[in-house]
Chain A
Amino acid sequence: MAQTGPEPNDLFREGALASLLRLQWFIRMRFVMVGVALAALAVERFVVPGGYRPTGLIATIIVTGVVNVVWMLMSRWVARDLHAGMDSHGRAMHRARQFANAQVTVDLLLLTLILRYAGGLESVLAIFYLFHMGIGALLLRPMQAVIQGTWAVVLYACLGLGELGGWIAPHYDLLPYLPAPGLYQHHAYVLVAVLVQAIAVFGTLYFTLRIAQRFGEQEAQLRRALTALRSSRQAIKDLQARRARFMSTAAHQLKSPLAAIETMAGLIRDGYVKDDAAQQTVESIIRRCRDAITGVGDLLTLARVQQADPHRHRTTRCSVAEVLKAVCTPREAEARRKGLTFALDLPAGDVLSAHIDAADLADCTDNLVENAIKYTPGPGAVLVVARRIQRPAADDAVALDFVEIEVTDTGIGIAEVDLGGADARSVRSPIFDAYRRGNGAIEAGIPGSGLGLSIVREVMEQAGGEVDVRSQIGTGSTFRVRVPAAVEGVPAAPAAGPLGVATGGAAAATSMLW
């Protein structure tokens, strides 16, 4: 049979078993019992001179002590394996359970022998059967505990019925100097005693097993909470590390234009720039000032998007068509000045309602359109298309409605290595990382903050959308974003987007600052 993980209730039993083994609780109790019994018999011998005790009783108590020494030696071996880092649900735990099972089995047999020499069915020492049932139900698996209960009842019944039927010699009394009641000779008493003992044994088992089950469920809940806590702690540590890296990179990107400005101003001051070139250097200084301002603006946009409540998208409906018109109108003029043809293709009679914050969608699409124009030399073309599509959900069970926006250009394209390989065209592509820029863009000397695409990814992840890219050097690029469509009469999209990226607070926190 294949090895499976422990049942939730076993978690508690295993914990209790391990603790008891470590403390050698069974062993200590048994040594105390043996010591107390032998001391009581010794005192009795002096206090009650006529008290006679059979050799069998003393021998059984001594055998219990000797067997206990064996258990003690074995328990060190079992406990060592259990705490030596072995698989806690594997062989060591199985061995520990067998060890406890064996102790209960032998204890019940020795207890019956002691009863045989100390009162038989009439002895009050029979209460110790119940003591073992409580321990067995807490530590053993339920079926093992029930078998031990049956074993106890069988032993007790054999003792009573054996004496009654004359198959075994009559027992010795617990207190031989008192008149013997002789109840063991009455059929009715023996039957009632065995029946009461059976009810007590299985009743104890039932209630203790139920309590152990409750403890087990609580233990499982605590362990799940602990696992979740550890995982959250790790997520927070990862987030802090990413935040530190991001801060360091952002500081560098903000310092770079300032450093270039200081260097160029120094060149003018120190006479490295001739008078006729000074004007050009001043223009460069002004341009770098603008770069710095743009970089700070993009950083503020990213911070705003990350800090906003990610649930706002699901409770919002915006017209993608209207947002695209607002974004594309000024960009179209810019494209034409650069000698590019520009087209916005929207379906007739459909406002393309979607669950996304309008301002965030505008930021997102404006970055894509701005990039398309920026990285396409004239003559060329930029095409923006929006349409309604159906995509399977994360579990492939239901097709969900999305609004897809596609921005295609005939520009310089992005090298496969910058996209992160042939298969990395999704949101995981490093081109969406903050401050990551393609070598082609750097080579062409096209300025950029390196934050535009990380803003796009952040918005899409929060809105439960998708983003992907296809590009080829010299041919152009196509960026595609899909946002959950808002359908009349249909409630907002579920929290988990088709990427499997939850849009809840915790997920948003971990997606911050890539």
Chain B
Amino acid sequence: MILRILLLLAFIIAPLNTALAGDFGSVPVLHDGRIKPLDSFARIHLKMFSGRESIEGLSAQDWLMDTLFNPPESFERRVFKVGDPDVREILKLPKQKGHLYSLAEIGPPLDAARPIIETLLERDEKTLSRAQEALIDLQVHRVIYSDIMRSLSLIVPLSIDPPQSLGLPEQDIYTALDFQRIAKAGEDKLKSVIRKKGDTIDTYTEDELELAQFMMRISVLRDASASNVIFRIIPPQWTGTEEWLSPVAMVNNGQGSPQSAEYLELWKQAAIAYSMGDRAALNAAFEKIYDSALTMLPGHYSGAQLKAEVLYNTFHPYHIALALFGLAVLMCAFYAANPIYLFYYAGVAALVTALGFSGLGLALRMFILDRPPVGTLYESILFVSFIVPLLSLVAERIYKNALSVFAGALAAFILIAISGGLAITPDDKQVLVAVLDTNFWLATHVLIITGGYGLCLITSVGAHLHLGLAALNRNPKPLHKNMTQAVYLGALLSLLFMSVGTILGGVWADQSWGRFWGWDPKENGALLIVLWLAWIIHGKISGHLKNWAVTSLYALLGVVVSLSWFGVNLLSIGLHSYGFIDGIAYGLLTFIIVETLFIGGCYALIRKREGACA
């Protein structure tokens, strides 16, 4: 049923974005270990080069199609963003709008800077400055872009005519694959000419010269694309191999088959249609390419997953959810300032709708990746951004004071807003590392732990609100009682989830790594949250921690969770290597300082007021 709804949505929405390209965006490609539609391939690479998903009025799909089928124009297209002023200085690049440059513009200066780049590549990554890293990245991007440009070099129409003496039947359009037919004959003829006349071309006849030039051009073409492996559009053709291959690699490795021959022929038809500007023929060709690719897909993968991914890319459910969560925060703030019920209901409606989009995003990701949606740090944030507002709705049903909606929407808004920066690779739908590739443990340990993070965050946000309102002296007794109760309940549930999740993690670690506990940073982080909560709850029950101290410590739970969730990943040590990230240390430090100041400030204010009252 869910699949049907998704496909219906895909049917309705996908054409809006892919009207120009037909089924091109849904054609499968193996990239970074995952089968994905060309739409994702296009977006990932265009974003990698230019930092955006469209360029010069072209969508990512249209950009990719033009790069594949029209390499000369792609050579001149400004797609490389050189944002670092030092890199622009090293490469002596002129000022350009948006700091975008073409391959033609960055190629020669990068060649000139090759000695510098080679020296940098030999150095330890950690010793590189930001500009040096950017320079290396630019060189890597240039290589990838060149590879994409040459991906279809075997089948794109060429403006080269073969010498008649080689006997290739006359055609309107020739491709490199056509020239393969006469390559041996050409070689033999040229060898015979060289044997007779040597390599001094002045003595060659016109026909011999034409032959020599032709053979040189096809040799250059062959060499330029010889190592091309990036565009893996051809599924495994023979039993015993699971490797997807690029057209060039398939021919070079002798992996062609009757099916792949037909498949490449369809790509050739598409290339010809593109060069003729015949959109109808192009769309028809891609329809056939897509259908043909489906027949070659591995058994466990379906076209519906490809369509669902195109839908996800087109639709951006989290962008919509982000806007709606923001709207819910605003409505609740308006309601607090001016208690008109319209604001209240608008806030709740925005939250519920946002939750729907967030849930749709999760469901699509689960369907596309065929696993629980918590395999990476990025995914765990998205999952928590779903759990937090869901819990806040439950709390809102009990307390009906808009504070829960405000807290849930605010937390989800912040989480989704920072999630993009924490997706470590350009593809946010990564393949799992081996240890995580188990649905059972992902659906138990990881879901419970991330659910626990969510509970901790909502508890912390609730405590923040409680402290803030008390500091502003807007904390009437019934509200105080409700909020104390809600935050306490949140803390108890958080402790339950974090404890069970941590123990389950130990059991998984025992199965995977042969030990229950290894004082790994990530394990210590989880334990830190459990101990923090156990300390506050015990302190509260035993009476050692008083009212506002307890609330302040609950509020600081956000800091403890952020240290455990993100902070330990900065250490880059331990067995949880799949979560390592760079570049968030300052952000985390700022967060901790702001939190400490806010919570400490509120606590001091409240204590001062209470002291004055006493």
Please indicate whether A and B come from the same complex rather than being unrelated chains.
no
Interface of B toward A, CB cutoff 8 Å: none
Interface of A toward B, CB cutoff 8 Å: none
